[in-house]
Amino acid sequence: MLVMKEPDLGEKIASIGKYTIKEPYSKVKILPVRIRGYIDLIRPFTLLAPIVVSMAIIVASMIYNKVSVSQNWWITVGQASFTLAIANAASNALNQATDFQADRISKPYRPIPQGIVKPDEAQSIAYILYLFALLRSVTINVWFGVFVFLIMVFTVTYSLPPRIKRFTFLNQVWIAIPRGLLGILAAWRVFGNPFQTMPLIIGTIATLYLVGGMATKDITDADADKKTGVNTMINTYGSKKTALISFPFMFFPFTVIPFLVNEGFLEHYLWPLTFLLLPSCLISYLMIKGTESKALENVHAWSIMYIEYIIFAIGFALLVIFVGK
């Protein structure tokens, strides 16, 4: 009697085909190649942060402000976080459309260097996503729409003229502000006042952290950026010096949390967020090592930087929801 062997996990994954962006498009089996190219264009892994962070901040805002909402409050949370994710997806597509020459050198596996998606097509997709996010945002509320628009201004001018990406250190600040302060204020505004002390301080801490952490994204692009006229801290000062310069931005914002609590600027139950200074030390160490991930697009420091940001938002939300009652 012939017994059929049950395929192991590795065989099942292989049958799916291309499951990371770095694998060749020849392995695409389920989706059409062009559709998979569009998915890679928006870089799904990087969308995890805006979705999770915004959801956490929105719910924290709702609880902190004791907002009376309907039973379908979770739909509003989902729609708002989805809108912020779409704005991020638009910036990812625009960035690839304008950086395709550098990507041919450092990231040849991306859809544009592979010829799956054309630069003009990617730019058109970015504009469609931007328009959708903007129109969707104003249906949440006007101030949420204003913050989403400001996020778009920063991300568009990062990639297009004046192309802030070209300028050392300023390029990191230009990414940190929309992904940190503006993103958090937008999320808080869904149910609360974005100009309260709480969201302003939390947004500032996130921004400072991201100013330092965003240097990790440039490690694998150092040579390509230099050849295409983009000056980053990595290709200007090297990984070791950049890690030393970036470290205070990732470390000290968390060390001042106890002081802010003691002075009454933050609620007393938020002091555990101070412990996030520990993974910041790990990120700096990994920046110096510069070990590239086999599955994701960048180095391990970049991945952990995003994960720490997500933990910061989730930790903040959990403390507000369960301790701050």
Contact 314, 273 (CB under 8 A): no
**Would you list the DSSP string of 190-251?**
TTS-TTSHHHHHHHHHHHHHHHHHGGGGGSTTHHHHHHTT---HHHHH-HHHHHHHHHHHHH
Residue 68 in this model has a pLDDT that exceeds 90: no
Single-letter amino acid, residue 277: L
pLDDT of residue 29: 78
pLDDT of residue 106: 93
Residue 10's pLDDT band (cuts 50, 70, 90):
very low
Query: Which of 63-72, 238-247, 309-318 comes out lowest in average pLDDT?
Result: 63-72
Query: Which of 21-35, 160-174, 307-321 comes out lowest in average pLDDT?
Result: 21-35
Q: What's the mean pLDDT when you consider all of the chain?
A: 92
Residue 2 in this model has a pLDDT that exceeds 50: no
Distance CA 36, CA 20 (A): 10
The label of the residue with tokens 């924290």 reads 60
Q: Is the pTM of this model over 0.85?
A: yes
Residue 14 in this model has a pLDDT that exceeds 50: no
CATH 1.10.10 fits 34-323, yes or no: no
Residue 53 in this model has a pLDDT that exceeds 70: yes
Provide mean pLDDT across the span 104-113.
95
pLDDT of residue 4: 43
Residue 277 in this model has a pLDDT that exceeds 50: yes
Q: How far apart are the first and last CA of the chain?
A: 65
Task: Decide: helix, strand or coil at residue 56.
Answer: helix
**Would you list the DSSP string of 102-164?**
HHHHH-TTSTTTTTSS-HHHHHHHHHHHHHHHHHHHHHH-HHHHHHHHHHHHHHHHHHSTT-G
Residue 325's pLDDT band (cuts 50, 70, 90):
low
Residue 49 in this model has a pLDDT that exceeds 80: yes
Task: Decide: helix, strand or coil at residue 20.
Answer: coil
Residue 89's pLDDT band (cuts 50, 70, 90):
very high
In terms of pLDDT, which residue wins out, 142 or 1? 142
pLDDT of residue 306: 94
pLDDT tens-digit map of 196-229: 999 999 999 999 999 999 999 999 999 999 999 9
pLDDT tens-digit map of 109-129: 999 999 999 999 999 999 999
pLDDT of residue 3: 45
Residue 293 in this model has a pLDDT that exceeds 90: no
Residue 260 in this model has a pLDDT that exceeds 50: yes
The residue extents of the domains of the chain are: 34-323
pLDDT of residue 69: 77
Provide mean pLDDT across the span 223-245.
95
Task: Decide: helix, strand or coil at residue 17.
Answer: strand
Residue 11 in this model has a pLDDT that exceeds 80: no
